[in-house]
């Protein structure tokens, strides 16, 4: 995630992280609210601003953990669900060129263009797979994604057992991937 944010900062501002950090040390306010305002005045917003704030005031614990550590923590109190996640990740090469971005409470799956799915242990008995899909099929297995999975996904399918990750769900993953290329 940090590497992606560094690239975004450099693409959006034309300046390196090191250059921004040096300027912040020289000129920016010493408190977070002031730094955010100072960066906003210079057109640095969103993830790029968050990166520079973290660089100045420290990264949250979850931000410095590896993807494996974050996933292990997501499933620590629900070990029966981890095989579902592992099986889902194992089929991704069949779907296409998927980038996996691990967050504190969920995992985003991205096409080369944008997020097409989100995977999250929703309860102690269910993994939700949210799909970004403008025109999903009518299926009793699909429901509205809700806000927990983020605004980028439109529908979700709940997986309770490893057998729930069947050809139909894999087909939906593939269709959502294709729709977001």
Give residue limits of the domains in the chain.
Answer: 2-59, 67-179
Query: Could you report the per-residue pLDDT of 94-143, keeping only the tens digit for each?
Result: 999 999 999 999 999 999 999 999 999 999 999 999 999 999 999 999 99
Asked whether the predicted pLDDT for residue 152 surpasses 90, the reply is no
Tokens standing for 91?
A: 């089929």
Can you say how many angstroms the Cα of residue 28 is from the centroid of all Cα atoms in its chain? 30
Give pLDDT, residue 68: 95
Q: What is the mean pLDDT of the chain?
A: 95
Q: What is the pTM of this model?
A: 0.77
Query: What pLDDT is attached to residue 64?
Result: 83
Confidence of residue 60 (pLDDT cuts 50, 70, 90): confident
Residue where the block lists tokens 């020289």: 26
- Closest of 175, 179, 159, 170 to residue 80, by C-alpha: 159
């Amino acid at each position: 995630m940090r590497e992606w944010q560094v690239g975004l900062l450099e693409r959006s501002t034309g300046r390196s992280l090191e250059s921004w950090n040096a300027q912040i040390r020289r000129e920016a306010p010493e408190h977070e609210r002031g730094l955010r305002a100072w960066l906003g005045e210079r057109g640095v917003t969103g993830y790029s601003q968050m990166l520079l704030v973290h660089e100045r005031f420290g990264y949250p614990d979850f931000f410095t953990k590896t993807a494996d550590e974050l996933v292990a923590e997501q499933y620590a109190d629900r070990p029966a669900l981890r095989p579902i996640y592992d099986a889902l990740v194992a089929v991704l090469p069949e779907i296409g060129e998927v980038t996996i971005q691990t967050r504190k409470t969920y995992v985003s799956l991205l096409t080369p263009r944008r997020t097409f799915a989100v995977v999250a242990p929703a309860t102690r008995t269910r993994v939700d797979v949210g799909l970004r899909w403008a025109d999903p099929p009518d299926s009793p297995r699909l429901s509205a994604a809700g806000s927990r999975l983020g605004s980028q996904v439109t529908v979700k399918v709940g997986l309770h057992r490893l057998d729930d990750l069947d050809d139909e769900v894999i087909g939906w993953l593939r269709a959502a991937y294709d729709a977001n290329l």
